[in-house]
Every structure is written in structure tokens, then in C-alpha cells.
Amino acid sequence: MDYKITTYSETETIELAQNIESEKFPNMVICLEGDLGSGKTVFTKGFAKAMEIDEDITSPTFNIIKEYTTGEMPLYHMDVYRLDGKVDELGIEEYYTKKGVTIIEWSDTIIDYLPDKRLDIKFRVIDENTRNITLIPHGKKYEEICEAIL
């Protein structure tokens, strides 16, 4: 089952991220999809803040992977846009079992490398402030998260 929500500001997108963060668990994987400027990094900033990470969160476009270890648990933030689906040598799958939370922007470009159990979040721009957000849980834990927060 898909879960749909509309946010009308960055603040509401951040609140959604914080609600999901409150249900986090080790080895959680969140996959973000959406056009440039649709809210993927805003979501990640909100999630990281709720994890008590005090570092500045930016899209890791040129780094590909940024690791934040100052919060409640590690956060692995990935932006795979520039990889054209070629991630064999990066060891991305290793992050799924490092006892942290992995958030992947542009995850739809690496479908074959994603774990079976994950939370897909799709952002669609409606206007300058409004986003339609669809949560697609893969696995019982992720379904329970969606039920708990919506």
C-alpha cells in the first residue's frame, strides 16, 4: 500500500522527516526520488536534525557519500545522480548493514543495488511550496512506520 501526503512548506516536509526519524532503527534504508528542488535534501536535513546531528547537511552530489557520526546513530547520506547506475566499486550495499540509517537521493537510478526492505519516498512538485509525497514501504517494519506516522 502506498501512503500519500501533501506538504505546503519546507517546514512541513521537515516535520514529516522528523516523524519518520522518530521510528528509526539500525540498518534503516530510505530511498528518495524526485526532480531537482523537490525536497529530497530538505527531508534529509530534517531527518538529520532530529537525529541530533549538528553538522551542516548538504547534498553529497560531488562526494557521493557523506557519513555523519555525531548523532544518535550514524547517518549515511548518498547522492547517486552522477553515477549513471554504475555503483559496483563503491560498496553501497555495505552501508545497509553498518547499524546506521542510509538515505539515498536519486535512488531510482540504482534500483538493482537497493535492498528488498526499504522505504521509498517520491517527491512531486506542485508549486513553489507544495509537494505531493508518496511513501512506499517495502517490508513489514516500513509498513508499520507509515501506519504510525500518517
* Local confidence pLDDT in tens for the 150 residues of the chain: 999 999 999 999 999 999 999 999 999 999 999 999 999 999 999 999 999 999 988 877 667 899 999 999 999 999 988 776 667 777 899 999 999 999 999 999 999 899 999 999 999 999 999 999 999 999 999 999 999 998
Tell me the H-state helices in the chain.
Answer: 10-21, 40-50, 92-95, 140-149
The Cα 105–Cα 80 span in angstroms is 6
Report how many domains make up the chain: 1
pLDDT in tens, 29-73: 999 999 999 999 999 999 999 999 999 888 776 678 999 999 999
CATH number, position 138:
3.40.50.300
Residue numbers of the domain that contains 20: 3-149
pTM of the model: 0.95
The Cα 140–Cα 6 span in angstroms is 24
Q: Buried b vs exposed e over 82-113: b needs ≥16 C-beta within 10 Å?
A: ebeeebeebebeebbeeebbbbbbbbbbbeeb
Average pLDDT, the chain: 93
Q: What is the pLDDT of residue 61?
A: 66
User: CA 83 → CA 30, 61, 63, 107, distances in Å?
Assistant: 18, 10, 11, 11
Report residue 43 as a C-alpha cell. 527531508
